[in-house]
Chains A and B, each alone.
Chain A
Amino acid sequence: MESTEWQCWIRTILAPESLGLSARLAALGPRRYPPPMSVSPEQARHIAKLARIAMSDEELARLVPELNAIIGWVEQLSEVNTDGVEPLTAVIEQKLRLRDDKVTDGNIRDDVLANAPEAQHGFFAVPKVIE
Chain B
Amino acid sequence: MSLTSKTIAELRDGFRGGDFSAREIAEAYNAAVAAAKLLNAYTVETPDEALAAADIADQARLGGQPLPLSGIPLGIKDLFATIGVDTTAGSHILQGFRPTYESTVTANLRKAGAGMLGKLNMDEFAMGSSNETSTYGPVISPWRRRGSNVGLTPGGSSGGSAAAVSALIAPGATGTDTGGSIRQPAAFAGICGIKPTYGRCSRWGIVSFASSLDQAGPMARSVRDCAILLEAMAGFDPNDSTSLDLPVPQWEANLSSNLKGKRVGIPKEYRIDSVPAEINALWDQGIEWLKDAGATPVEISLPHTKYALPTYYIIAPAEASSNLARYDGVRYGLREEGVKTLDDMYAATRAAGFGAEVKRRIMIGTYVLSAGFYDAYFTKAQRVRALIKQDFAKAFEQCDVILTPTAPSAAFGIGETTDPLAMYLNDVFAVPASLAGLPAMSVPGGLDGQGLPLGLHLIGNELDEQTVLNAGLAIEERAGFAARPEKWW
- Say whether A associates with B: yes
Q: Interface residues, chain A, CB within 8 Å of chain B?
A: 1, 3, 6-7, 10-11, 13-14, 17, 20-21, 24, 39, 43-44, 47-55, 63, 66-67, 69-71, 73-78, 80, 82, 85-92, 94, 96-97, 99, 108, 111-112, 114-118, 124, 126-127, 129
Which residues from chain B contact A69 at a C-beta distance below 8 Å? 420-421
Segment with Cβ contacts to A, from B72-80, B292-300, B338-346: B338-346
B331 and A124: CB pair below 8 A?
yes
Residues of chain A within 8 A (CB-CB) of B212 are 89, 91
Besides the known contacts A21-B420, A48-B363, 17 further A-B residue pairs in the complex with CB atoms under 8 A apart: A3-B306, A13-B425, A14-B422, A17-B419, A21-B422, A24-B419, A47-B370, A51-B350, A51-B362, A53-B362, A54-B351, A55-B359, A73-B310, A82-B383, A86-B386, A127-B339, A127-B342
Contacts A53-B351, A74-B314, A92-B244; is A63 near B363 (CB within 8 Å)? yes
On whether the beta carbons of B384 and A77 are closer than 8 Å, the reply is yes
- Does B148 sit at the interface, judged by CB under 8 A? no
Known: A13-B422, A67-B363, A124-B330. A94 touches B242 (CB 8 A): yes
Q: Is the CB of B343 within 8 A of A52?
A: yes
Most chain-B CB neighbours within 10 Å: which of A49, A51, A76? A51
Cβ distance B200 to chain A, nearest Cβ, rounded Å: 9
Contacts of B310 in A (CB 8 A): 73-77
B25 at interface by CB-CB < 8 Å: no
Q: A70-B313, A88-B389, A91-B389 are contacts. A115–B384 as well, Cβ < 8 Å?
A: no
Partner of B420, one of A43, A70, A89, A129: A70
Docked CA distance A43–B367 (Å)? 9
| Closest A residue, CB atoms, query B310 | A74
- A126 close to B330 (CB less than 8 A): yes
In the bound complex, CA of A114 to CA of B340 (Å): 24
Q: How far is the CB of A39 from chain B (nearest CB, A)?
A: 7
Most-contacted residue by chain A among B99, B244, B382 (CB, 10 A)? B382
Q: Does B448 contact A (CB under 8 A)?
A: no
Report whether B421 and A13 are in contact in the complex, using a CB–CB cutoff of 8 Å: yes
A87 near B244: Cβ-Cβ < 8 Å: no
Q: Give the residues from 302 to 337 in chain B that come closer than 8 angstroms, CB to CB, to chain A.
A: 304, 306-307, 310-311, 313-314, 321, 325, 328-335
* Interfacial chain B residues near A24, Cβ < 8 Å: 419
Closest to A62 in B: B356
Task: Count chain B residues whose beta carbon lies closer than 8 angstroms to a beta carbon of A.
Answer: 87
Binding site for A on B (CB under 8 A): 96-101, 197-199, 212-213, 238, 241-242, 244-245, 269, 272-275, 304, 306-307, 310-311, 313-314, 321, 325, 328-335, 339-348, 350-351, 354, 359-360, 362-364, 366-368, 370, 376-377, 379-387, 389, 408-409, 416-422, 425, 428, 435-437, 462
On chain B, the residues within 8 Å of A124 by CB distance are 330-331
A118-B198 contact, Cβ under 8 Å, with A74-B314, A87-B382, A92-B462: no
The 5 A-B pairs with the shortest beta carbon distances in the complex, nearest first, are A87-B382, A91-B437, A117-B335, A115-B332, A82-B383
Interface contact B350-A117, CB-CB below 8 Å: no
Contact of A77 with B380 in the complex, beta carbons under 8 Å = yes
Contact across chains for B241 and A96 when beta carbons are under 8 A apart: yes
Contact A91 B198 (CB under 8 A): yes
Docked-complex contact B274 and A14, CB < 8 angstroms: yes
A50 touches B351 (CB 8 A): no
Q: Which residues of B contact A71 (CB under 8 A)?
A: 364, 367
- B359 contacts A53, CB within 8 Å? yes
* Known contacts A13-B421, A91-B198, A99-B238; is-contact A66 B360 (Cβ 8 Å): yes
| A53-B359, A94-B242 given; A10·B330 CB < 8 A | no
Contact assessment for A54 and B273 in the assembled complex, using a CB-CB cutoff below 8 Å? no
- In the assembled complex, the Cα of A117 lies from the Cα of B95 at a distance in Å of 11
List of B residues within 8 angstroms of A91 by Cβ: 198, 212-213, 385, 389, 435-437
Interface pair B347/A70, CB less than 8 Å apart: no
Contact A114 B98 (CB under 8 A): yes
Residues of B within 8 A of A99 (CB): 238
Residues of B within 8 A of A89 (CB): 212, 382
Distance, CA A67 to CA B244, complexed state (A): 37
Residue in B closest to A39 when the chains form the complex, CB atoms: B367
Contact check, B383 vs A87: say whether CB atoms are below 8 A apart: yes
Residue of B nearest to A22 (CB): B419
**Alpha-carbon separation in the docked complex, A50 to B374 (Å):** 14
Give CA–CA (A14, B367) in the complex, Å.
Answer: 27
Q: Point out the residues of chain B lying under 8 angstroms from A85, CB to CB.
A: 383, 386-387
A116 CA to B350 CA, complexed, in Å: 15
Distance in angstroms between the alpha carbons of A48 and B244 in the assembled complex: 37
Give the complex CA separation of A76 and B307 in angstroms: 8
Contact A52-B428, Cβ < 8 Å, known A10-B274, A17-B417, A115-B333: no
> How many angstroms from the CA of A47 to the CA of B368 in the assembled complex?
10
Interchain CB contact under 8 A, A78 and B380:
yes
Nearest A residue to B361 by beta-carbon distance?
Answer: A70
Contacting residues, chain A, for B334 (C-beta < 8 A): 117
CA of A112 to CA of B329 in the docked complex: distance in angstroms?
A: 14
- Inter-chain contacts of A49 with B (CB < 8 A): 347
CB closest chain-A residue, reference B409: A14
Known: A10-B272, A13-B421. A82 touches B380 (CB 8 A): yes
A sample of 6 inter-chain contacts (CB < 8 A) reads A11-B273, A47-B363, A53-B347, A89-B382, A91-B435, A129-B342
Residues of B within 8 A of A127 (CB): 339-342, 345
